[in-house]
Copies of this chain bind each other. A is one copy, B any other.
Amino acid sequence: MSDISEFQKEREKLAELMMSKADMNMKRFLNLDTKVYEDGALPAKQKEMLGLVASLVLRCDDCINYHLVQCHKAGVPEVEIIEAMDVGLIVGGSITIPHIRRALKSWDELEGKK
């Protein structure tokens, strides 16, 4: 199994655990976290790219992987992923490079080029 598939499986299991323990306020947050990325004045696709770059500069591999999956589903081409990462890289600096490296491996797995 590819790393990204393993990530998705583990993520799903832990998300269920979190939902089973969440109180009302935690559930409200999780619910809002879904709504924010829905189509609005900005298309969902562009919001996922915003989420991707935000996750990159804050350096969270899980969040990067999640938004990469969403971008892939939304049909974002690799050239746009790279340019979005360029923005994250210049804003966030070389400290983001290890995350970009792992993200590009995830992307290849999503594209089936593993």
Query: At the interface, is chain A mostly helix, strand, loop or mixed?
Result: helix
Those 4 A-B pairs whose CB atoms lie nearest each other, nearest first? A93-B93, A14-B101, A62-B98, A41-B79
- Is there contact, CB below 8 Å, between A82 and B32? no
Asked whether A108 and B41 contact (CB < 8 A) given A32-B25, A55-B91, A92-B58, the answer is no
Asked whether A23 and B94 contact (CB < 8 A) given A14-B102, A17-B101, A17-B108, the answer is no
Tell me the A residues contacting B by CB distance below 8 Å: 11, 14-15, 17-18, 21-23, 25-26, 28-30, 32-33, 35-37, 40-42, 46-47, 49-51, 53-60, 62-63, 77-80, 82-98, 100-102, 104-105, 108
12 more A-B contacts (CB under 8 A) besides A32-B32, A93-B93?
A: A23-B79, A26-B82, A26-B89, A29-B90, A33-B97, A40-B79, A47-B83, A49-B50, A54-B88, A60-B98, A63-B94, A91-B94
